[in-house]
Amino acid sequence: MIRSLALAALAAVPAFAADYAVDDDHTFALFRVQHMGAGYTWGRFDAIGGEVSYDPANPAASKVALTIQAGSVSVGVPKMEEHLKSPDFFDVKQFPTLGFVSKSFTKTGEGKYDVAGDLTIHGVTKSITVKVERTGMGTHAFNKKALVGFETIFEINRNDFGIKYGPGVVGDTVRVTLALEAIAK
């Protein structure tokens, strides 16, 4: 009886070392850029997909690949959104996706990692390293699958990715916040 209870308890614990699919409903990619040297314009992308392979016991074996639909850019102003989709900015007809593919996942502290990889925006790929925090691990209330969450905040120079429209009007530095939740496959 005790053995049966112990086995049942172990079966209820999700296996966090797993392959996960990005949960688009609970993943957010936000950006902010300075406008005319005054305030910040904030935006987000509403269509994000990808995969995460995460093993907290062996972080070096972990990896992430994300794809963002450039046409899902949203700033709450339809005219500005159309401009952001144009060749002046994201040029969504020529470059329909933005992406990140990790090359290394290095533990720097409890639940903290340096993730190096290739970031592709506007058809230009650059290697970057971002500081990532695991925000939590849990079990989905309805399907009982394992969940994992991560967050990172980093800055890029938009000119490095060939987005050069409006010098002096649009700031060069873009702060990106990515809050990712993924569910075990």
pLDDT tens track for 135-168: 999 999 999 999 999 999 999 999 999 999 999 9
Its pTM stands at 0.89
CB distance 73 to 29 below 8 Å: no
Which domains are delineated in the chain? 14-184 (2.40.128.110)
Residue 70 has pLDDT above 50, yes or no: yes
Which residue, among 146, 148, 152, 174, has the nearest Cα to 108 in the 3D structure?
A: 152
Q: Which two structure tokens, joined as six digits, stand for 49?
A: 């997909």
pLDDT confidence of residue 174: 98
Q: Sign of dihedral through CA atoms 123, 125, 128, 134?
A: positive
Which residue, among 162, 86, 151, has the nearest Cα to 124 in the 3D structure?
A: 162
pLDDT tens track for 86-145: 999 999 999 999 999 999 999 999 999 999 999 999 999 999 999 999 999 999 999 999
pLDDT band at 16 (very low <50, low <70, confident <90, very high): low
